[in-house]
Amino acid sequence: MSAIAAAHNMSLAALEAANPQVANPNLIHPGEVLTITGGTIAQGGPPAGPSPDGAISIDAVTYGSYTGGGDVSAWTTRACEIMHFSPANWVTGYQVLCARESSGRPNAINAWDANAHGPIQSDGYPLHCSRGVAQCIPDTFASNHVADTSTDIYDPVANIAASMRYVMRRYGVASDGHDLTLLVQQADPRRRPCGY
C-alpha cells in the first residue's frame, strides 16, 4: 500500500484510514478495491504496472516485514500453483536452496556481501541487499516478478516465485523442475552449497 499511496501523493496513514477493510496493509491481493482520497496521480502518470509476464519496476518493490505463517514447502507449493507448475521437484529443491540461503527465514537480509550497496530502502538496508527466503536482490525480484504475487520482496511466495522464474531464465530449468538440482547446485543436497 505504501507504493500506491506514494503514487497518489498521499500518506500511507491516510490510505490505510480510507481502507479499514484491509486487515494487513503489507498484504493486498489482486482485485481488491482501495479507496483513494485527497491524493493526485504523481507527476508522470500512474505507477508502472506489471508487464504481461508480471515483471515490475524496481521502484514498485516493497519492503514490509513478513508476519504470516507457513514454511518453505507450503510457500513453494503456492508459488507453483500460481505459476501452474507441478510442485514435487520444486518443493524438494527449494527446501534445500532456502535452507542454504536464509535458513528458511522470510525476513532474512544479507547486508554484508558485494550486493549490499545502494540507497537505503524503507527496511533500513541498501537497495541491492539480498532479501527474503530465497535471497533475491530487488533487481532480480522485480525483473522476475510473477503476476498474482505480492510486490513485497519479503513475501515468501512472491520471493520464491521470482526466484523460480529467475532460475528458469538464467539456468534453463524446466517448468516441472525435474532438472533443478542438476542445473542449480544450491538446490542439490548432494553437492556443497554454491550461490545461485
Exposed, middle or buried: residue 160 (CB in 10 Å: 0-12, 13-18, 19+)? Answer: buried
- Alpha-helical (H) ranges within 50-196 are 72-83, 88-102, 138-143, 156-171, 180-183
Q: Is residue 66 part of a domain?
A: no
Q: Which three three-digit cell numbers place residue 47?
A: 505507477
Integer-rounded Cα Rg, in Å, for the chain is 17
Q: Alpha-carbon distance 172 to 17, whole Å? A: 45
Q: Is residue 146 part of a domain?
A: yes
Q: Is residue 195 part of a domain?
A: no
Task: Provide the pLDDT confidence category of residue 6 given band limits of 50, 70 and 90.
Answer: low
Q: What is the average pLDDT across 21-44?
A: 64
What count of residues does the chain have?
196
* pLDDT at position 28: 76
Q: Give the range among 5-9, 29-33, 55-59, 144-148 with minimum mean pLDDT.
A: 5-9
Output the pTM of the full model. Answer: 0.74
Which range of residues forms the domain containing residue 174?
72-187
* pLDDT at position 1: 74
Number of domains in the chain: 2
* pLDDT at position 16: 77
* pLDDT at position 8: 66
Same-domain pairing of 116 and 25: no
Same-domain pairing of 106 and 22: no
